[in-house]
Amino acid sequence: MEFDPPFDSAYKSLLDAMDPKGCPALEVEQCGLPLIDLARLDLDDAAAREKCKREIASASAEWGFFQLVNHGLPGELLERIHRVQVDVFRQPFEKKAHERLMDYSPDSYRWGNPCATSLRQLSWSEAYHISTIPCPEAEKANTIRCTIDEYTTAVSRLARRLAEILAEHLGCGGSHFDESCTSSTCYLRLNHYLPCASPVGVFGLIPHTDSAFLTVLYQDEVGGLQLMKGERWVAVKPIRGSLVVNIGDLFEVVYTLCCTALSNGEFKSVLHRVVANPEVERFSVAYFLCPSYETVIESCREPAVYRAFSFREYRLQVQEDVKAEGYKIGLRRFFT
């Protein structure tokens, strides 16, 4: 019984055409992201709380990414969500591809990239993109669904708290998150990165930015996440029990002021990727803080870098670009 997607057969022509000599090496320098102890936010010491908030803002401006410890999500819950992922992705491929996962949409399961015309457009991974709406009472006895709901509730609370801290730092209100980001608009993505026998020139997840306000990621200790720092790629060193947070496209649109140096106290959605591993599988779970499709995304600061658009318009444009180009173009489509 086959458990993994048929990458080798589905993308045989791309793999056969690959020239390893023409593929740039994906091994890069490993670094530690800014590490923030979030427990300080709950101290009685006001100075410690404010210092923690400044560190969050500084890391977001300098890196677009940061790592959290003492974030409030219990280690036991993180272990359970990891076991859920393993159980879900160990299901037969035909079942994953053609049957519903509990009461989630039948198209929530995705793998590869049917639009890929080269290996540079192919993500060697499978994923479940699932809604964060709590499960119906009839599903309460389902251990997998209960764990997903429990994790979602905890990580959603954390994401909103971080988003509000960043918005307040820039002197803007955080009403965007309270009014438009609900359990019916945010989503969770369970990721499984399969070993790739020919990893040179192959990505577990192709370079991209996230179409959300914020992303909160829990990953195992295998590693593979890389991000663009300045003009070079750097690899993120995993820390057991930590969470990785990054700025998304929508946050950049709403809170970025048009100026000569966007990183000067501003927050930018940063390009990142996952490299393929020849021997070891990797699991991660990402939470995306997103608004409703009808929400208008526009700058709260003038002059604006990007024109106003609805989240629906943005998502549709991303989908069109992926079909036409094989990859996401993103915010460049929406400059003023």
Domain membership flag for residue 280:
yes
110 Cα distance to chain centroid = 15
Domain membership flag for residue 123:
yes
Domain membership flag for residue 202:
yes
Structural domain including 97 reads 27-303
For the ranges 92-106, 127-141, 304-318, the maximum mean pLDDT occurs at 304-318
pLDDT at residue number 24: 59
Closest CA to 247 of 162, 152, 156, 334: 162
* Tokens matching residue 82: 């990891």
Residue-wise pLDDT for 196-228, tens only, equals 987 777 899 999 999 999 999 999 999 999 999
Is pLDDT of 266 > 90?
no
Total of domains in the chain = 1
Residue-wise pLDDT for 267-313, tens only, equals 889 999 999 999 999 999 999 999 999 999 988 877 888 999 999 99
Separation between Cα atoms, residue 39 and residue 48, nearest integer Å:
10
Q: Which amino acid is at 137?
A: E
Domain membership flag for residue 18:
no
Q: Report yes or no: 306 and 258 within 8 Å, Cβ to Cβ.
A: no
Active site residue 301: no
How is 184-240 classified by DSSP, letter by letter?
A: TT-EEEEEEE---SS-TT-EEEEEE--SSSEEEEEE-SS--EEEEETTEEEEEPP-T
In terms of C-beta density within 10 A (0-12 exposed, 13-18 middle, 19 or more buried), how is residue 35 classed? middle
Domain membership flag for residue 234:
yes
Which entry of 282, 312, 332, 333 is annotated as an active-site residue? 282
Domain membership flag for residue 4:
no
pLDDT at residue number 91: 92
Q: What is the DSSP letter of 330?
A: G
* Tokens matching residue 30: 């490993």
Q: What is the CATH number of the domain that holds 104?
A: 2.60.120.330
Domain membership flag for residue 309:
no
Domain membership flag for residue 329:
no
